[in-house]
Structure formats: C-alpha cells, structure tokens
Amino acid sequence: MEPDPAKQIQLLRAEIARHDRLYFVEHSPEISDRDYDRLLEQLRQLEAAYPELVTPDSPTQRVGGAPLAEFAHVTHAVPMLSIDNTYSEGDLRAFDERVRRALPGEAVEYLVDPKIDGVSASLRYEHGRLVLAATRGDGRVGDDVTANVRVIRSVPLALLGSGWPDVLEVRGEVYWPRTAFDRFNALREQAGEETFANPRNAAAGTLKLLDSRLVAGRGLAFCAHGFGQIEPLIADRASVLFEKLAGWGVPVNPHRRVVCSIDDVLEFVESWRGRRRDLPYETDGLVIKVDRFAQRAVLGATSRFPRWCVAFKYEPEQAESIVEKVDYQVGKLGTITPRAVMKPVSLSGTTVRHASLHNFDQVERLGVHIGDTVIIEKAGEIIPQVVRVVTDKRPAGARPVRPPRHCPVCGGDVARDEGGVYLRCVNPECDAQIRERLKFFCGRDQMDIEGAGEALIDQLVSAGLVHRFADLYRLKERRADLLKLERMGDKSVDNLLEAIEKSKAQPLGRVLAALNIRHVGRATAELLADHFGTMEALAAASFDELQQVEGVGPEIARSLHGYFQSDAGRKTWQALAAAGVNMCQPRRRTAADLPLAGKTVVVTGTLRRYKRSEIEELIRRLGGVPAGSVSRKTDFVIAGDEAGSKLEKARRLGIPLLDEQAFLKLIGRE
C-alpha cells in the first residue's frame, strides 16, 4: 500500500514543529542541525511533488519573497507604549509604593525577567495562525513587517496544541543572538564589507529591510515579553499566559520569575547584576511587571508609559586605563572628534583600546592630559567613552590635550561651529570627508549598496575611481580597474555593479538622506520627500515653503535652502539624476488606501479559485478583517458553493452578499 502523502506531510510538519519548540522554547534540542535540515528537505521534496498540499504555515514557507516597495502602516489594536526606566533601589521602592497605594489591601505579585536589548515587535495570531507582525513605530502606528518576521525560525507560523484565544497579540523583542551576530560580522569582514556596530542596531536595520530573503540568512530570534489584544482573555495573570505561550511554541524568557514583594524584586536585581553577561543576547537591565491583568487595568497608563511596569537599568560597567595619546577622526561633515588611545583594558566583555572624548569642549571640561589615568564606560552599553580623569594619579610631565590648528587629514583650515563646541575642517575636498560621505551614501539606511563597505570605499577613493556620489554610477565603465582592486574578482565586481544599479530605484526619502545635508536625517528626509514629491520641487522651494513642512524649523530650512541654492548642492543632485537615480517619492499606501480597509468579511461555502485560508489571507492583505461568524458588524459575506447557515443569517440581517466573481471584481482581480 502506497504511503499517504498528505499524512506524511502532516507528520513531518508536526515533527519539525516539535523540534522547533525543543530548540527555541525549551532550549534542549534532541537532534543536530544537520538532522533537522534533513527533515526539512524531506518535507520540501514532498511538497514539491504535491504542491496542492502546501499551506501558508508550513515550515517550508519560511522563505523570503520578492522585495517590497515600502512597508504598509498598521494601527495597533492596543497601543505599544514604552517602559519607564528606574536606576536605583529607591526608584524601585517608589514604584512599589505607587502600585500599592492604587491597590489598597490587595496582594501584589511581580513578574520579573531580563530585558532583551532588541527591537519591539507585535505578533498577531488569529485562530492560531500568524497573520500580522508589526514594529512599535510611534506606539500607535507601526510598520507591517510580516514578511520579515515569517523567516525568523523561532517565530511559529502556527501555534502548537490547542486552547489559544481567537485573537492573540504577542509582544516581544526581535534580537540578534551574540553568536549569530559575531558569525555574520566575521563573514562580512572576510568579504571586506562594513561590519555591524552592535546587535541591537543591526537587528533594527535588518527588520526594516525591504527584501525578506536577506533577513532569512541573518539568524534573528524572537522572545515574548508581553501581550496586546487577547480575545477572549483565557488567563487572569501574565505568568499563566506565558506558560501557555511556551506550550504553543512561542519563545519566552526561561529566567522569568514571579515574586511577592519589592524585597524579592531587589534580590532578583542583585542576583543578575553579575550574570547578565552570560546571557546569549545583549541586556542592560530587568523588567518588573504587575502580574495580574485586573490590577494592570486599575493602574492604567500615562500617554507614554504603563503604570504597572518599569525597567531597572544597571549602571554601566566602568574600567580604568591610561591615555597614551589622542588621535582625531574627521566625519562626513568635517567634524573633528578627539579619541583617546589607551592601554588595552577589558570592559563589558570586550577589550577596549579607544574611547570617545566627543568634542574639545568635553576635553577641556574633563581636563584630559596625555598620560592621565581615566575612567571609561560604554555609553548605552555600546560606545566606550571617557567619563572622568583620576587627577590623583596624574604623572609629572603629563601634557594637556590641545585642539589641532589644522585638519589632521588634509591640513586645511579648521573653524568652530556656531555653538563653539565642535571643531570642523572647512575644506570640502578633504580626503577624510569624501570617504566618510561616500560610506554614508552607500549605507544601509540610505542607498543600501550591498558590498560597498568601508574597505572598498577606501580602495575606490585611493585608486581615483570615485570622488563624487555620481561616480559610483559610472563604475560599470571601469570594470577593468575594479578587477585590479584587492578581493575584487569577477563575481565580486558583478555583485557590486548589480547593487549599485539596484540602488537607483531607492525612493526620494532615502536619496535625500544620502546627500548628507546638515540637520537632515532620515526621518526629516522622509517628511520632505512625502511633502514635495520630487527633488526638483524640493530644490525650488523657498525658505518659507520649507518651514511649512511639519518638523522643519528655521535651522533645518536654512540648511536645506543653502544646500539647494549652492553650486555644489545643485551639481550633486543633478548629476545623480543624470546617472538615472530616482528623484521621486512613491505615494505611501496606508491601510486606509486599501480596497477592503476597515471591512469585516465572512466567507462561507466552497470557492472555486481559492482555498479558505488563501481568501482570508487575501482579505487581510487588502486591509479587511476575515471573521468566522456573521453579525450586524459584518460588512458583506462571500458565498461559495454549498453555503449554509451563515448565508441564511446574512440574508435575515440584510447583509450584502457577493459570489466569488463579484468579490474579485470588487478588488480588481477579475
């Protein structure tokens, strides 16, 4: 008797889901990665042979699709608020007192767990299926990153078991585990590409990539830490719901603990002070939450923070070292930043030789001398900085640090900025500025030219191949010269030229940000691009017209107007336009623009062209909400063959009825 392929596929999917849960939730894998890949390959082969049995939640569907033009905006059913920070025992006791005053006579339990330093995301499951993933955004409206989250292996596309609510929004952190991050950075370094500075920022950038195929290979992970909309609410406290989440295959923090007093919270804080570096992810503190949902409802929230939750941030680790010399870095706008070069010292798990001194105003305020013993810490757990000089240990003959009189790179003139804090090289042809501007232009948040990292940019400038932005788009004429560069074979050159060509299609907001106009960051660039629509219209705008854009004040308007009125600015953007770079901003498609925006749709009966799951997914993509039952809130019903009681109820309530063909005509698919 021939084995039933549907049964085989079902068993393989269940087995893979079980191993996913063992690996990501219970942290106790039973098989090797190679054996896991074999199971996945068996499933792929079966589904290739029987494509009609493929479902959207199959493990094989964790593959990137075609790149998006942009992210759609999503309004959160429950706002994703930030968490207020505390830094001391006194702060935590004050929080506890506020909670107990609001809940007189009630027993209060706290749920405490390590705070993962990642990117907040909301995962929406309906009837056990992942239907939407969104970023926090401004807390009320985020970006739809479903395609990217679907390729994160630790995120279940379908919940295991049973008993889940009809609607379950899981809030958590998308993060880059240290080992996966280090491995990916090592590969980039070997390829001569720019490495990522830290896991948190890299995870944020990865989650916002428009091409989910790139996300799939980076090894991001997800861990749940909270909830949004839950209907119906099936537990009275978060700790119980987290236990259920683990059973359904959603990763939760194994180090969470429920405690009964603020003293227990403080004990937990102390116990993790020295252990947090042992975790496989970046963390800078703990999160303390009231456990019972009913008590959370009483406590409520401010416009920014829930009153039932705080984060405790550990003070940054510090180390002591000796300043051997001070060197200078020249940025893309000519800013000269002093940097202390020190005797190597271990700090927060890494060896540190350099620490930022920020600016010469800070150098003077600290009184830094060559030979000084200094205290350093990592700002935001990332960037080493000098915070204090140990003057008692200053040696005889220590020399004060003086600002340079000329640019340390090009020897050109320097000048203080308007506030007198920063020193700038005023030579726009400074070699360091050219390199930094090009690196910024090619960066992930601007033109996103894959492969054009620091090492390659340095080579391109040194070889005289690139001086201006537009020179990048003429490199296809210099293929023979590119092949002479270090680590640039035929394949590398092809990939680079393809990435450069692809970057021509970037929307105006990214192009404008890439121009590196002073005071115009990515957010402001997007506002300007949305407002004016084209670079030509923006360049022609008057000072007053620029200020009419929300978020653009006199300083930004002055900088923009000066740039576009200058010969250098005009030549720069016009040369890019002549090279074929896009100079228009696509019209943003928000949920309100979609044909089924805000519509509740019920499907009943058997359709000819779509399976039930496919039509419901299509409804969601077009802004609608597929519902399982008919009510007065239903906007219309799609009726297929052998429609039953739902069709009769819709007729009784007078709800519009559409057959499959009429529905497809409504959405422009017929």
Active site residues: 115
Q: Could you tell me which residues come within 8 angstroms of residue 9 by beta carbon, excluding any fewer than 6 positions away?
A: 43, 46, 47, 50, 53, 58
CB 374 within 8 A of CB 390: yes
Distance CA 233, CA 124 (A): 15
What does the alpha-carbon distance between residue 306 and residue 301 come to, in Å, rounded to a whole number?
4
Report the distance separating Cα 113 and Cα 258, nearest Å. Answer: 9
Range 334-370 burial, b when 16+ CB lie within 10 A, else e = bbbbbbbebeebebbeeebeebbbbbbbebeebebbb
In sequence order, the 6+-apart residues with CB closer than 8 A to the CB of 648 are: none
Instruction: Give the rounded distance of the alpha carbon of 584 from its chain centre.
Output: 25
| Rounded Cα–Cα distance for residues 126 and 159 (Å) | 10
Contact criterion met (CB below 8 Å) for 178 and 282: yes
Burial class (CB in 10 A: 0-12, 13-18, 19+), 216: middle
With vertex at residue 579, the alpha carbon angle to CA 573 and CA 584, rounded to the nearest 5 degrees, is 60
Residue that the structure tokens 């405490």 belong to: 112
606 secondary structure, DSSP code: B
What are phi and psi for residue 179, nearest 5 degrees? -65, -45
Task: Mention every residue, 6+ apart, whose C-beta is less than 8 A from residue 461.
Answer: 431, 434, 435, 438, 467
- Give, as one character, the DSSP assignment of residue 92: H
* Contacts for 519-525: CB closer than 8 Å, 24+ residues apart: 519/555, 519/556, 519/559, 520/556, 520/559, 520/560, 522/445, 522/446, 523/551, 524/551, 524/552, 524/556
How far apart, in whole angstroms, are the C-alpha atoms of residue 647 and residue 650? 5
In whole angstroms, give the CA distance from residue 178 to residue 182.
6
Residues 6+ apart with CB under 8 A from 499: 449, 450, 451, 452
User: What angle in degrees, to the nearest 10, is found between the helix axes of 178-190 and 199-207?
Assistant: 80
d(CA 459, CA 444): 19
Spatial CB neighbours of 217, under 8 Å, sequence gap ≥ 6: none
Contact assessment for residue 133 and residue 172, using Cβ atoms and an 8 Å cutoff: no
